[in-house]
C-alpha cells in the first residue's frame, strides 16, 4: 500500500499556535531554521528512497527559492501552503484567494511547473470556511489536503469523510479532497497523521494506526514540518501546554520518521490519489447519491455524502 508523505514547509515562528505571541512584522528578524532543516529532510528521504509532497509557504519560497529548486531536483512534488500562513476562517474570501494566488505565482515562477495541490495553514478548511474549495477551483488546483475529520481547538470537521472524496461545484466534480488521516477507535476519529501526533504518541501506537489503515485498504497521509526535526529550536515563553505541543519530543522526530520510512511505502499525494478509486472516477462521473447531510454556511449549501464520498457545492 502506497501512503502519502507530506511536508508543510514553514519556519518555527509561522505556526498558528504562536500567532498571538509573535507579530508578523517580526518574522524577518527571527532566526531562520527552514533552509537547514529542509536539507536535512531531503537527505533523509534520499537515504530511504522516499518521495513526498512539499506544501511550501509562499513567504518561505520568496525568500529562499533555492530550497524550492532543491526539492524539485530531488524528485518531490511541490504544492501550495498559501503565502502568509493565516488560517482561512480569519480571512475574507478575497483575501484568501489573493493569498493562495500569490503563493502559486511564486512557486510556478521558480519551478516552471503547474501547481496542482494545496494545504491550508492549520488545516483550516472547517465548517466556517468550506467556501475555500470554490476559490481553489478558480485558481486551477485539482486537489486539496486540508480537512481534518476530528474535533480540535484550531481545526477540524469531526464528521467529514475520512478518506479521499470528490468535491462538486454546481453538480460538476472539480476538486479531490484528501483528508488528514484518522483511525476509528471506540467510535471516535483518532488522529493518525504525523506532526505533533507522531512526536507525542507512543511510536508503537502510531505504527499500529498506519498498519490498521493499510489493512483496511486505505492509504494514510502523513505530514510534518521542517522545524520538528530541530531539537535546538529557539524557545519562546508560552504556556505549558503550548510548550508541550510545539517543543515536545523534537529530539525523537527524525528517528521516528526514519522508522516509518523503513516500515511503510510512501509517495507523493498526487501519486497516491492517482491510485485511488476516487481519482480514477474523476471527472467522468456526475454527482450521484448526493446528500445525506446539509450544511448551511453564509447562505451557501454544502453537502457531505459519505456513501459515495462526494461533496456537492450549490
Three-class DSSP labels, 31-97: CCCHHHHHHHHHHHHHHCCCCCEEEECHHHHHHCHHHHHHHHHCCCEEEECCCCCCCHHHCCHHHHH
Position 89 scores a pLDDT of 92
Q: Is 225 within a domain?
A: yes
Q: Is 294 within a domain?
A: no
Ranges of the chain with pLDDT below 50 = 279-301, 305-309, 312-314
Position 169 scores a pLDDT of 80
What pLDDT digit, counting tens, does each position of 26-65 carry? Answer: 889 899 999 999 999 999 999 999 999 999 999 999 999 9
Q: Is 312 within a domain?
A: no
Q: Is 296 within a domain?
A: no
Tell me the residue range of the domain where 140 lies: 2-287
3-class state of residue 219 by DSSP:
coil
Q: Is 47 within a domain?
A: yes
Q: What is the CATH number of the domain that holds 275?
A: 3.20.20.370
Alpha-helical runs (H) found in 79-223: 93-111, 132-138, 195-200, 203-215
Q: Is 293 within a domain?
A: no
Q: How many domains does the chain have?
A: 1
What pLDDT digit, counting tens, does each position of 215-249 carry? Answer: 999 999 999 999 999 988 888 777 777 767 766 67
Q: Is 304 within a domain?
A: no
Q: Is 241 within a domain?
A: yes
Amino acid at each position: 500500500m502506497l501512503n502519502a508523505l507530506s511536508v508543510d514547509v514553514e519556519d518555527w515562528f509561522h505556526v498558528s499556535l504562536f500567532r498571538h505571541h509573535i507579530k508578523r512584522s517580526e518574522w524577518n528578524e527571527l532566526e531562520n531554521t527552514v533552509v537547514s532543516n529542509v536539507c536535512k529532510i531531503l537527505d533523509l528521504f534520499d537515504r530511504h528512497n522516499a518521495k513526498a509532497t512539499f506544501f511550501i509557504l509562499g513567504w518561505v519560497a520568496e525568500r529562499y527559492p533555492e530550497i524550492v529548486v532543491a526539492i524539485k531536483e530531488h524528485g518531490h512534488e511541490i504544492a501550495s501552503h498559501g503565502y502568509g500562513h493565516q488560517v482561512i476562517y480569519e480571512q475574507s474570501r478575497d483575501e484568501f484567494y489573493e493569498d493562495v494566488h500569490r503563493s502559486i505565482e511564486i512557486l510556478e515562477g521558480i519551478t516552471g511547473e503547474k501547481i496542482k495541490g494545496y494545504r491550508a495553514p492549520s488545516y483550516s478548511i472547517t465548517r466556517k470556511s468550506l467556501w475555500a474549495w470554490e476559490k481553489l477551483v478558480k485558481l486551477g488546483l485539482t486537489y486539496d489536503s486540508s480537512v481534518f475529520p476530528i474535533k480540535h481547538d484550531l481545526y477540524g470537521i469531526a464528521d467529514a469523510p475520512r478518506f479521499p472524496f470528490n468535491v462538486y461545484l454546481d453538480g460538476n466534480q472539480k476538486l479531490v479532497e484528501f483528508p488528514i488521516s484518522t483511525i476509528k477507535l471506540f467510535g471516535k476519529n483518532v488522529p493518525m497523521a504525523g506532526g505533533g501526533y507522531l512526536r507525542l504518541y507512543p511510536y508503537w501506537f502510531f505504527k499500529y494506526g498506519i498498519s490498521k489503515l493499510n489493512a483496511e485498504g486505505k492509504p494514510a497521509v502523513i505530514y510534518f514540518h521542517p522545524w520538528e526535526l530541530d531539537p535546538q529550536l529557539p524557545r519562546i515563553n508560552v504556556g505549558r501546554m503550548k510548550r508541550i505541543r510545539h517543543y515536545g519530543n523534537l529530539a525523537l522526530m527524525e528517528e521516528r520518521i526514519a522508522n516509518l520510512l523503513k516500515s511503510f511505502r510512501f509517495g507523493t499525494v498526487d501519486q497516491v490519489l492517482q491510485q485511488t478509486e476516487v481519482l480514477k472516477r474523476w471527472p467522468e462521473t456526475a454527482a450521484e447519491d448526493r446528500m445525506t447531510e446539509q450544511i448551511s454556511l453564509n447562505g451557501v449549501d454544502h453537502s457531505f455524502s459519505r456513501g459515495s464520498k462526494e461533496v456537492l457545492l450549490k
